[in-house]
Amino acid sequence: MTRLLIVEDNEMNRDMLSRRLIRRGYEVVEARDGIEGIEIARNQQPDLILMDLSLPEMDGWTATRILKSESSTRHIPVVALTAHAMAADRERALLVGCDAVDTKPVEIARLIEIMNRLLVRSELAP
């Protein structure tokens, strides 16, 4: 089963996204901020990370930069989730190492399409 890590500080967003992905056959692990997200990614080695960019403690840009700089986690695809649809935010997310960017509110079909495209590279799509 494909394991996803959702790094999202908003409990309602995290819960809604988790439930929708679990129903589609994914295993979901959750983190509330960038620091917790890094720790979980290191320890549990998820197949893909959904990273909110606006997080407390440590933002998603910084967390992604750290994950992509470490040999144990750099292989994990990261999809940035952001409410900011500005081109500069998208470019910045890609520059720090995000493999894709999707906007909030999340459109589940579009997100799964992005995830599957990244997971197929690793032959992990459910």
pLDDT at 125: 46
- Give the per-residue SS3 of the chain: CCEEEEECCCHHHHHHHHHHHHHCCCEEEEECCHHHHHHHHHHHCCCEEEEECCCCCCCHHHHHHHHHHCCCCCCCCEEEEECCCCHHHHHHHHHCCCCEEEECCCCHHHHHHHHHHHHHHCCCCC
In a domain, 126, yes or no: no
31 lies in some domain: yes
Domain around 68:
3-121
122: pLDDT strictly greater than 70: no
Is residue 2 scored above 80 in pLDDT?
yes
pLDDT at 123: 61
Residue 90's pLDDT is what?
85
For residue 26, the model assigns a pLDDT of: 97
CATH number of domain containing 114:
3.40.50.2300
What is the count of structural domains for the chain? 1
Higher pLDDT, 106 or 88: 106
